[in-house]
Every structure is written in C-alpha cells, then in structure tokens.
Amino acid sequence: MWSPIGRQVTIPTPAQPTRRYGLGAVDWHSGEAVVLTRRRKRRREVAELLEALLARHPRGTIYVAWDNASTHEDEDEEVEAVLRGAAGRLVLLYLPTYSPWLNPIEMLWRHFRREVTHCELFGSIDALLAATQEFFDRCNRAPQRTRSIIGAHPA
C-alpha cells in the first residue's frame, strides 16, 4: 500500500471481541426464512430457533434438516424439551457429517455472505445487524427468489 514518506497508513480492521451469530431455517415450500441473531450460539439459542419455527407454524408437522453442529448433539436437554413440548409436530432430519449441500439454509447463508458481508467492513455491529435484517427481509418479500437460491423449484 502506498503512502507519503513519514505518514503511517491506517488500515481499518473489524473489532474481534464483538460477534453475533446467525441461526436460521428456510421453508423449502414457501421460501420463508426465519433467522435469529444472537450473542452466542449454544443449545439454548438453537432451542429458541425451534420455538420460533413452532410459533411461526402453529399447525402441521415441521421437518428440520439437522446437521452435525456441536450445538445439535444428542442428549441436549433444551432441544429435547422443545421436541417434547411440540408433541410430534417437530421432526429432526439428521444429515450426514460434512454435507452442507443437503441443508437448504446453508445455500442461503452462502448467498448472504456473498451479497452482504463479502469484502465488507461495517462501521459497527449495529450496521452489520441492520444489513443482515435487510437481507432476510428482502428474502421474505421475494420468496420465489429464495426458493431458487436454495434449489427448491416449483413442482
């Protein structure tokens, strides 16, 4: 990088301690995305996502593609409590290890990174969260486009 002699070049970098995690699901049939941003990504936050899915879809069975993330381990009391409370309406479909292409939300996350965060430095965490919210709001306003992104084509 070029700078005049005697002047220190300042390169902005993101602040490492401030992080947010996205937890999400996308409806294969409707293209609707449900995304939560949280300070942590633990089993409790995963259980919150499942509760949000149940609240969004009060009737019928909900099938969730379940990858092998560490927050999705067996013997998880918080998630088990949500599953018991759902009384069979929530079915977890366990995916093979290292197979993100089988999980529709992964394709949407990839598109999110490409469109929102790739080579982008946000001035604050609030600016990042606003850009995230705007992206998923756009997805929910254009569900056919979202269905195309995740590979769900009209039957």
**Secondary-structure percent of the chain, ordered helix, strand, coil, rounded to 5:** 45, 15, 40
17-50 per-position pLDDT tens digit: 678 899 999 999 999 999 999 998 888 999 999 9
Q: What is the mean pLDDT of the chain?
A: 88
77-97 per-position pLDDT tens digit: 888 999 999 999 999 998 988
Percent of the chain clearing pLDDT 70 (strictly above): 89
Considering only CA atoms, which of 107, 56, 111 is closest in space to residue 48? 56
End-to-end CA distance of the chain: 53
Domains of the chain (ranges; CATH) run 21-149 (3.30.420.10)
